[in-house]
Amino acid sequence: MRIIRISCFTCLFLLLGSCADEIVIVDSGPEIPNRPNILWIVAEDLSPIIPPFGDFTVETPNLTRLAAEGVRYSNVFSTSGVCAPSRATIALGNYQNRIGAQHMRTMRPSSVAPFPGQLTAYEAVPPPLVKMHSQYFREAGYYASNNAKEDYQFRKPITAWDESSGTAHWRNRAPGQPFFSVFNLGITHESQVWVQQENPLLVAEDLEVPVPPYLPDTEVALRDIRQVYSNIVAMDRQVGEILQQLEEDELLDNTVVFFYSDHGGPLPRQKRLLYDSGINLPMIIRFPDGWRAGEVDDQLISFVDFKSTALSLGGIKPPDYVDGRAFLGDFVNSPERSYIHAAADRLDAQYDTIRAVRDSRYKYLRNYNIDRSYYLELPYREQMAIMQELLRLRDAGQLNEAQAQWFRAQKPPEELFDTENDPHELNNLAMDPSFQGKLAELSAEMDVWLDDIDDKGLIPEVDLIEEFWPGGIQPTTLAPLVSHLSGMVYVSSATPGANIGYQILTGEQELNDTWQLYLEPLRLSPEQRLFTMAHRIGYAPSEVVRYQEN
């Protein structure tokens, strides 16, 4: 980065304020400590196939303990069947297709670009006021750490985390400082179904495993399904290590612990799709006071609710721009959900626009590319032996009716499933006269949702890139302006929505990766040097400005 050296000068400042609507506070449930620690333990690619949610194929003593001491949420849904769009939603509190983060992935599509020379790497550019969840915690005095997956569809702003790395940990905070810490456990990721084949299984080689009706039960397929459960065993051990560290630090009694996964399962016809197998996930929340320990909560919850809820538990008012609701904490201010919404868009080189609305029982899918087959070739997924087995059986004409459904050449415009009686979503009820009322209800709800969010997935991606980065050039955040008045140093940026970070150094100290949040004027001693930088999400960060009083 290039550093601009400046001395004192005068500049104009815009003081931005907002008027919030009055919030009605209702009973938030648990009695938790003031400014509790918030810990997120995030598995990857995991459906609710663990003992706390009724699948006893393997033992998970640490998750089972967590569930016994916490609340199991049985109707939690990601907004996408794949990680990057879902993580954008979690981080910002907006649907990925509202903010242009719906395609997988935006920041490195070059190896899978469907239109060579047209589709380039880009970052989603949300509206100016949108900030990451972690930044709100930092602004409230929390230590925010992420270990270590990011994948937000945009480069994290410099002000997002105190630390985001493989060594990030709440233990790196100042003594007594509350923390918001995220640990990402990759062992259950889709790739580990084939990568871990090099290692011995952590389960019996002949373990009896449940086989969904849309997958084959050949020995090749069973081996991969056993690997999924073996990876769950490994993940549970990692959960135990994190909880043990929390107990060693005597922090369990003032920490709200979340366990969840970033979307549904890793197997074919699970990940990337909007069936419940792709978007339904397990979530457990353990509260310090043992609130509702061991209970199951079946309210509908969406990833878009996570940011508001975490902030609310920390006593931080969620911003007005979020799409989600806080379902816990000080700022629970709306009734439980009637619907969740989800979207599928580009996956690697394949476009297949699908939108979903689900209530507590019925799922409605709207297919925009009805001339495309359900199954779309993805070389990454085809590294998995069970996927290769499905293709072998397809080519040999040996798939049964349920397995063959995924390979149909076309899709109907609408699909409707009764997830209670048809949990694998194999029987489309959209043409059944007895379900036309439910079809009309969910279709109308989808129209309302799409209109509300101004769905950016319904415009060509090349046009979206031009909207975000005119001429294919990423906009750059304007460098901070620094001035000195009445012994105080003021910093601003003319870029709307710019987040400003700073470091104060003395002597031989050098710049590091941790930028403090600029929230109020600073006082400098003559020997101190101020380095400041501005960064709006989706823009390139500014140059670094160096300032020292003369």
Residues labelled catalytic: 83
Q: What is the 3-state secondary structure (H, E, C) of 473-510?
A: CCCECCCCEEEEECCEEEEECCCCCCEEEEEEECCCCC
User: What are the residue ranges of helices labelled H in 201-342?
Assistant: 219-248, 276-279, 306-313
Q: Is the CB of residue 148 less than 8 Å from the CB of residue 499?
A: no
Please state whether beta strands 529-535 and 544-547 pair in parallel, antiparallel, or not at all (unpaired).
antiparallel
Q: How far is CA 121 from the centre of its chain?
A: 20
- Residue 123's closest CA among 147, 93, 96, 160? 96
Residue pointed to by tokens 């990011």: 150
* Cβ-based neighbours of 401, under 8 Å, separated by 6 or more: none
Containing 135, the helix (H) or strand (E) segment is: helix 133-139
DSSP H or E segment with residue 145: strand 143-147
Question: How far apart are alpha carbons 242 and 39 in whole angstroms?
Answer: 10
The two structure tokens encoding residue 98: 């509202």
The alpha carbon of 457 is separated from its chain's Cα centroid by a whole number of angstroms, namely 18
Determine the Cα–Cα distance for residues 360 and 37; give it in Å rounded to an integer.
Answer: 31
Residue 18: Cβ within 10 Å count: 8
**Which of 437, 463, 449 is closest to 366 using CA atoms?**
449
What is the DSSP code string of 153-191? SSPPPTTS-SEESTT--GGGSPTT--EEEEEEEGGGSTT
Per DSSP, the chain holds a count of helices (H) and strands (E) of 12, 20
Contact 153, 84 (CB under 8 A): yes
- Cα–chain-centroid distance for residue 527? 43
Beta bridge partners of 415: 365
Tokens of 309: 């809820």
Q: What's the rounded Cα separation, in Å, for the pair 191 and 10?
A: 55
- 488 Cβ neighbours under 8 A, 6+ residues apart: 521, 522, 523
Alpha-carbon distance 28 to 326, whole Å? 9
